Amino acid sequence: MIENFWLNAAWSVLPTILLFALFYVVLRAIFHIDRNERRVYSEIEAEERARRGLPAKPKPSTHS
């Protein structure tokens, strides 16, 4: 029979929790990197447009 139910339950659930935490950290890092990359790209594009004397690129509408 099971000697310590709660300890066995914790050891059974722990790998799932750890994998979820790892998955969360990796996805959060990916989204953070993507957001920063898009921000830097738009800043570079705005600088190039200003240098060439082109009008600023209109921001996309957020309404559907």
The pLDDT tens digits of the residues spanning 1-44 come to: 467 888 898 889 999 999 999 999 999 999 999 999 999 999 99
Model confidence band, residue 55 (pLDDT cutoffs 50, 70, 90): confident
Task: Tell me the C-alpha distance between 24 and 26, whole Å.
Answer: 6
* pLDDT of 63 higher than 70: no
Q: Residues 6 or more apart from 57 whose CB is under 8 A from it?
A: 45, 46, 49
Domains of the chain by residue range: 23-51
